[in-house]
A and B are shown apart, each in its own frame.
Chain A
């Protein structure tokens, strides 16, 4: 099936890594379930209890600004998030997404077109995202970067290299 359907969680501009995953947990929480349980704790307390595998986040400008902490990505991966669609991303956050195999999709203005709970369609073959009936092209990534994403992340990719 080329086109998949996803439920959206919609947020605004400049959402920082501290509200996505609080710093106080970064050295003590190791278990995936525990990390997942604190996702977006200081932004949207309903998220962690209600998010379902396959959901997507749709945000404004500069999603994931701030710290380099990778749990701000993995806490979403562990909740089964399918992709993050944003007007733009924090630079390190964008790289962290790629390295965790979570697709960061840059689409300007997406968050203004829908509300939390609305549906987003992703067409991987046509490399399109459909939001509120409008189709948006997924911006292409450099080939080497796309390869990391397709391998399922940097760990999976390097495993192939070291373990054959």
Chain B
């Protein structure tokens, strides 16, 4: 009998079973469930169910992050309904406007730990793979069901392995690794599957860089993603966690559908062209494309090292076009303020906004005009994503965004420093 993948082990544990195999349908009890600005809509579904109280308020988190501070009365009303619900139900973990983006905040608060299972009403819940947790995005109705019952059916997915070897060159970031994977295997490469990101290059990634890959596994179509947690992760969690945990690792002889090997040593910065994250080209092929706006932020590309990479390029210079910088969390913002990174960005002409999703999904804080092109450190460049249908979006790492904002066209950081 072959060994077990991480997904098989984690879902068996979350279902209270001794073992499970890909294809099994299980009733899974996640260790944490979370939602964000969509919580008011979820509450309306929850009320239809006829359940009075949520099943376990201690295992619930809600962040306000997608449109913060509220840009319109309708958004404000939405937030107000959520606050009232949090009070009424005694939700244990609630994060107000300005605390940051759900995935970043829940990681910083160590609300989910290695070997655990988390479900969020957000497709980027794959993010928590960076902690060695099983994270899965669900729809609003499923979240209402989770609130009411604490469990949800899951079909255990087969697993694809991504094995990373080698060492990244300076100027190449985790974002480029992920864009390479998407370019090679397409946006449907991970469909219905879990992905294990393994190999010697994983431990070389800084803790700020690691989440980028499992996060963007949502763009790969993956149901969940996993990185084997190492000492650096355990150290990060030590001062933050409120309970014990037991990490899970896949067996050597587990069954994999496919293994994709990538030597990251040869990678160069990449760009995804409109309107899909797998339309990937080498940065040099996109050089010179005029852009009217840069955006550094999101759960994918708004951590401290993204801001620091941008500051290194912009220090002492002036941007040629609008550059919007939105830290992924208050912790990121504070650190950038303390190290001088923030001052460098402001002095270079960047607009700084409240930690949250910003213009990532077109709610506010940097909606492009028709025909205006943006280059962003986020994860999605679908048509209309930032709120305007005919406004092309390019994806790259944060350093390329900064260099491009400096020049008003897609530019190579190595050439502007």
Which A residues are closer than 8 A to B by beta carbons? 13-14, 16, 18-19, 22-24, 26-28, 30, 41-42, 61-62, 65-70, 73, 88, 90-92, 94-96, 99-100, 142, 144-145, 153-155, 158-159, 162-163
Contact = CB atoms under 8 A, between A and B. Distances in A.
Contacts of B37: 27
A99 B387 contact: no
Interface string B98-127: 000000000000000000000001110000
A70 B361 contact: no
Nearest to B141: A99
A164 to B, nearest CB: 9
A96 B361 contact: no
B25 A155 contact: no
A142 B78 CA distance: 37
Interface in B349-377: 361-363
A28 B382 contact: no
Given A61-B188, A65-B188, A154-B141, A145 B25 contact: yes
Given A68-B140, A145-B25, 9 more contacts: A42-B389, A62-B191, A92-B123, A92-B137, A142-B155, A154-B142, A158-B149, A162-B148, A163-B50
A41 B122 CA distance: 22
Contacts of A144: 25, 153
B45 interface: yes
Interface stretch (B66-74, B207-215, B394-402): B66-74
Contacts of B137: 68, 92
Given A14-B187, A23-B363, A27-B38, A155 B139 contact: no
Interface string B139-158: 11110110011000101000
A32 to B, nearest CB: 12
Contacts of B41: 27, 30
Contacts of B382: 16, 18-19, 66
A91 B223 contact: yes
B138 A68 contact: yes
B49 interface: yes
A155 B49 contact: yes
A66 B223 CA distance: 11
Contacts of B222: 91
A100 B25 contact: no
Given A19-B384, A22-B384, A65-B188, A27 B139 contact: no
Contacts of B383: 18-19, 42
Given A42-B389, A155-B45, A155-B49, A96 B139 contact: yes
B322 interface: no
Contacts of A153: 141
A2 B141 CA distance: 30
